[in-house]
Amino acid sequence: MFFIRSSKKRRELPDRELISRYRISGDTGFVGELFERYAHLIYGVCKKYLKEEEEARDACMELFEYLVKELVKYEVQNFKGWLARATSNFCLMRIRKKRSMEVKEEGFKNTEAQDVELGDVMHLQSESEVRELEIQRLEAAILKLKAEQKTCVELFFLEGKSYQEVAEHTGFTYKQVKSYIQNGKRNLKVALSAHK
């Protein structure tokens, strides 16, 4: 969809092997193969969040550069799950940035128009504003978790690792990981419901 066809050899490699070879060699062709393999998923998520076709296509192209940087930082076990979350987060950051620019432009216009009353500026929040606020609350709530819960929750939900993979990564037992994730989820739920 987006890239020149890769070699047959690369197409036959599993996701984890492509990631491993990319991390060792720095050859972005391996990321290109992954990107091509999941282009339909990436585009679908971008279209869902960004709505407009042209903006979704632009985001897909930017996402390739984002993946090139991010795959070096993280040990990704379940690439498809990680990619879906990374794409969602990428789109939400894009929405947040766009909204921030709109707010700045709106603020500039309002500064010029001295006759605008504060009550006239208030308006209902758009879907993207609500989503942005929820993300900010979630990020703040995650930061307030105990260190063990925060680590396990981030690895499990944001990086898509299984309980066993989180245990191997952190050195906690399987039982501890399960407990930290469950307690972390409960604490997040309590923290987020307090904001409603």
For residue 89, give the amino acid letter: N
pLDDT value at position 14? Answer: 92
CA distance 180 to 164: 13
pLDDT of amino acid 33: 92
Q: What is the pLDDT, as a whole number, of residue 25?
A: 92
Give me the pLDDT at residue 175, please.
Answer: 94
Is residue 92 exposed (0-12), middle (13-18) or buried (19+ Cβ within 10 Å)? middle
pLDDT of residue 11: 85
Instruction: Give pLDDT < 50 ranges for the chain.
Output: 1-5, 111-124
pTM value? 0.51
Helix, strand, coil shares, percent, the chain, to 5: 80, 0, 20
Q: Is the dihedral of CA 169, 171, 175, 176 positive or negative?
A: negative
